[in-house]
Chain A
Amino acid sequence: MLRNMMIPGVTLVLLFMISMTSVTGGLNESQQAENTIAIYGDKIYTMAKSEDGSWSGVIKDGVVLIKDGKVVQVGLAGDIEIPEGSIIKKAAVVTPGLIDARSVVGLAGWLNIDHDSDHIERSSPIQPELEALDAYNTREPLIDWVRSFGVTTLHTGHAPGQLISGQTFIVKTRGNTVDDAVVKRKAMVACTLGSDALRSGKESPGTRSKQMAMLRQEFIKAQAHMDKQEKAEGDEEKEPPARNLRMEALISILKKEMPLMISAHAAVDIQNVLRLQKELDISVVLQGGAECYDFVEPLKKQGIPVIIHPTMMRSSGVGKNASMETSAKLIAAGVQIAMGSGYESYVPKTRVVLWEAAIACAYGCSFEDALGMITLSAAELLGVDDRIGSIEVGKDGDVALYDGDPFEYTTHCVGTVIEGQVVSEAVR
């Protein structure tokens, strides 16, 4: 009886094990499918470029297939087989995830109180050693806000407002910790020229000349430090200079490992940017540039890319002569350009690059040039176009979904996907 009982028992166990295996196998398969997401678009702007450098155009009735976070196929919906179990999303328009080429989100918090304001350190006017990574709050509500408008990547960090306020970094708009989100830990060093970085009373810099003199002096120090380092490298008897994080940050600019991103708006300050780049022979990025329309040729000649101010920059203070057509002018002249939300000290605490590029489109930019400023052109300027900026096979599966023309006032961003994960489904 017992033996007889055992046989069916063993059989049951065996059957159970077999069924477990098949269930597990099924789970594995469906997990794999869950790692696959297919995004259909009536129109897909891949923002890839043709060989001649022009935008490759729109795919009508297309699909983007993302597997394990990367784009594996993109093309006509009829031509691409979608694995069973894939997550399916559909939208009228699909674009690459948007890139805000100069933000302070994550450091300058929405409440705008001491508790959440880490974008500017006022103890000294020159602090290139400050790393954005150490101050970025992944739980900042403004990250969610811009993400709900398709922004998947931020170039963010220390704000304009000090001669050298600190470093910037590149980060995805998701992740539990900053380490989950970081794309490039050291992106640029943020410098500000002009009235935004003048200090009052007896503190320096109090004038524009002093700003330039202080910068020159600091880079001379860095050059001397670098020379000492190099001399000590080939000579065992020579002690290398004591490590100095400030000097190291500046040396990385002198070695062109990081660009100096200079925020400047007034004509006089943009001239100083041009002069400084020549004197130091460093990589410079002009940020802001309210009056840069008067310096298109020298910017092009010196190879200085521009992260242009948001199109809706206020027409007061340093922006009093800002033009909503500057992006179009720079693009027409062939200056490398991207658009950033910039820094706002009050309301709104951040601008939304989708909306800023939209206004640029209404003021002279073609649709794709305007979209390019917040996708591929931004990625190129930031040096991360091997990974993001366009919907192309092998790149990160970052896309934004809309229910119509992304730039139109009354359409909505209906979804945001980062590396294949749906991170926003708000209809905004």
Chain B
Amino acid sequence: MLSRKLSTVLSRISAITAVLMLLLNGWSDRVEAADIQAFVGARLMPVSGPVIENGTLVVRNGKIEQIGATDQVVLPPGTEVVNAEGKTIIPGLICTHSHIGWGGGGDSSEPIQPECWTRDSVDVRSASFMRARAGGLTLVNQMPGSGHLISGRTTYLKLREGNTVDDLLVLDDTGWPMGGLKMANGTNSQRSAPFPGTRAKSASLVRQAYVKAQEYRNKIAKAEGDAEKMPERDLRMEALVEALEGKRIVHHHTHRHDDILTVLRLRDEFGFEVVLHHVSDAWKVADEIAAAGADCSIIVVDSPGGKLEARDIRLENGAVLEKAGVNVAFHTDDWITDSRLFLRSAALGVRAGMTSEGALRALTLSGAEMLGLEDQTGSLDVGKDADFAILSGDPFSIYTQILETWVEGAQVFDRSNPDHLLYAVGGRGAGDDSAYHCCGEEGGH
């Protein structure tokens, strides 16, 4: 439903970029790395299957080619062998709700602005991107804020080394950058007019917007391709129509128990696909959420409150939802919590009763599912992107260090590199936006 013209132009640009990148990659590959790498002797936690105590992970051209017990994996000729004995390898962490790079959406003019897009505002050179890589993250859903009912389109970003935001995009089959739609209810999106002042007004404004989008979609359907009969292009409507058609998952900020149910009601009225985000009161309505089959992306914060809606937030949310049968992911909401300590969020979930298996899934595969990218990433499976983190020990021990992060077979964080360590630990210069992506004689990381 996006303009075919615009789509065509963009996909052409993407195609050209892709060819250029292939050329460049091909070039550097020949200089830097073998095509095939095997991480041998590690404790592999694939998430999609049982832990392999002494395992080998084979990566070729950015994809996982083999995974199994070390004595059963046959290494192809020319494989570069990396000794990973004593280390633990987990899928790259996926943050379903992040503000790294500070990408904003709508402005203060009105409450519904789905035409805005974080792709146009995120700064991928921000130090927060390096911190995220240091935290083992390989994929984020870069979100606009929650100060609007609909604040804009989100952008799914692979944390590849990149010079521009385009280098980090996740493209769909047509070459179009993938992302969701950010919505919010409750008090964050309530302000003076033209913003809503009450919850009922919030819901009614959203309803009205989607009704309008349905009509827009119907007009397009009726036009049957006749350019004369097509409605005028409307970016706002186009984003909402994508949500109505399931092409854009709604990522919905919501805290209070009744607000959560309002989201589910609107979902049922209009048929969009939704992930509930934050969900402070989830423990009060876990059965209702389970019955509705809705996924929850939750946050872990160190104390309740700070805002009225988070008054009753509990560390037990993950455990309660898991027990109720809800698909749960964690998120950082970075800068609310620090991407470098994303493992900690899930570990505190375990502390409050979640299973370790469920908690690790909630950092990886469940997140991929909530972004519609589970066929591509989220677990250590043959054919998936080689997105993983190498740890010094158990993922949920405070004493474990994240040693390396790999995205699509390329190392993007290496704790033994002092330039990278600075971002992992902090210190003078750690807050400066990315010298790291600089080029030149001393660049080429």
Pair B306/A409 contact, Cβ less than 8 Å: no
A114-144 interface with B by 8 A CB criterion: 141-142
With A and B bound together, what is the CA distance between A294 and B307 in angstroms? 36
B398: interface (CB < 8 Å): yes
Pair A110/B306 contact, Cβ less than 8 Å: yes
Residue interface bits B166-200, CB-to-A below 8 A is 1, else 0: 00000000000000000000000000000000000
With A and B bound together, what is the CA distance between A46 and B301 in angstroms? 30
Residue interface bits B418-445, CB-to-A below 8 A is 1, else 0: 0000000111111110000000000000
Pair A409/B302 contact, Cβ less than 8 Å: no
Pair B398/A407 contact, Cβ less than 8 Å: yes
CB distance from B420 to the nearest CB of A (A): 15
Pair B398/A409 contact, Cβ less than 8 Å: yes
With A and B bound together, what is the CA distance between A351 and B301 in angstroms? 9
On chain B, the number of residues with a Cβ less than 8 Å from chain A's Cβ atoms is 35
B83: interface (CB < 8 Å): no
Specify the chain A residue showing the minimal Cβ separation from B423.
Answer: A315
B363: interface (CB < 8 Å): no
On chain A, the number of residues with a Cβ less than 8 Å from chain B's Cβ atoms is 44
Instruction: List chain B residues, Cβ under 8 A from A219.
Output: none
Residue interface bits B283-308, CB-to-A below 8 A is 1, else 0: 00000000000000000011111111
With A and B bound together, what is the CA distance between A111 and B307 in angstroms? 5
With A and B bound together, what is the CA distance between A323 and B344 in angstroms? 18
Pair A111/B311 contact, Cβ less than 8 Å: yes
CB distance from A379 to the nearest CB of B (A): 23
Residue interface bits B336-361, CB-to-A below 8 A is 1, else 0: 10100100100110110000000000
CB distance from A416 to the nearest CB of B (A): 16
CB distance from A108 to the nearest CB of B (A): 10
Pair A344/B306 contact, Cβ less than 8 Å: yes
Main secondary structure of the interface of A (DSSP, over half): loop
Q: How many A-B residue pairs have CB under 8 A?
A: 116
Instruction: List chain B residues, Cβ under 8 A from A359.
Output: 341, 398
Pair A145/B303 contact, Cβ less than 8 Å: yes
Indicate which residue in B348, B351, B396, B426 contacts A323 across the interface (CB closer than 8 Å).
B426
Specify the chain B residue showing the minimal Cβ separation from A358.
Answer: B398
A387: interface (CB < 8 Å): no
With A and B bound together, what is the CA distance between A112 and B310 in angstroms? 11
Pair A323/B430 contact, Cβ less than 8 Å: yes
With A and B bound together, what is the CA distance between A411 and B351 in angstroms? 6
Instruction: List chain A residues, Cβ under 8 A from B348.
Output: 409
Main secondary structure of the interface of B (DSSP, over half): loop
Instruction: List chain A residues, Cβ under 8 A from B301.
Output: 347-348
Pair A314/B306 contact, Cβ less than 8 Å: no
Instruction: List chain B residues, Cβ under 8 A from A363.
Output: 425
B335: interface (CB < 8 Å): yes
Instruction: List chain A residues, Cβ under 8 A from B48.
Output: none
Pair A361/B398 contact, Cβ less than 8 Å: yes
Indicate which residue in A349, A352, A358, A362 contacts B305 across the interface (CB closer than 8 Å).
A349
Specify the chain B residue showing the minimal Cβ separation from A355.
Answer: B302
Pair B302/A352 contact, Cβ less than 8 Å: yes
Pair B427/A347 contact, Cβ less than 8 Å: no
Indicate which residue in B307, B428, B432 contacts A347 across the interface (CB closer than 8 Å).
B307
With A and B bound together, what is the CA distance between A361 and B396 in angstroms? 15
With A and B bound together, what is the CA distance between A224 and B81 in angstroms? 76
Instruction: List chain A residues, Cβ under 8 A from B131.
Output: 315
Instruction: Decide yes or no: A110 and B303 within 8 Å by CB, A312-B341, A409-B396 being known contacts.
Output: yes
Specify the chain A residue showing the minimal Cβ separation from B303.
Answer: A348
With A and B bound together, what is the CA distance between A347 and B301 in angstroms? 7
Pair A346/B398 contact, Cβ less than 8 Å: no
Pair A145/B430 contact, Cβ less than 8 Å: no
A408: interface (CB < 8 Å): yes
A113: interface (CB < 8 Å): yes
Residue interface bits A407-425, CB-to-B below 8 A is 1, else 0: 1111110000000000000
21 A-B residue pairings within 8 Å (CB atoms): A111-B308, A141-B305, A146-B303, A314-B335, A315-B131, A320-B127, A320-B430, A323-B425, A324-B426, A325-B426, A347-B301, A347-B307, A347-B310, A348-B302, A348-B303, A350-B303, A362-B399, A409-B348, A409-B397, A409-B398, A410-B351
Interface residues, chain A, with chain B CB atoms under 8 Å away: 109-113, 141-142, 145-146, 291, 293-294, 312, 314-316, 319-325, 344, 346-352, 355, 358-359, 361-363, 407-412, 428
Known: A315-B338, A428-B315. 16 other contacts (CB 8 A): A111-B311, A113-B308, A312-B341, A319-B431, A320-B431, A320-B432, A321-B427, A324-B425, A347-B305, A348-B301, A348-B302, A348-B306, A361-B398, A407-B398, A409-B348, A410-B351
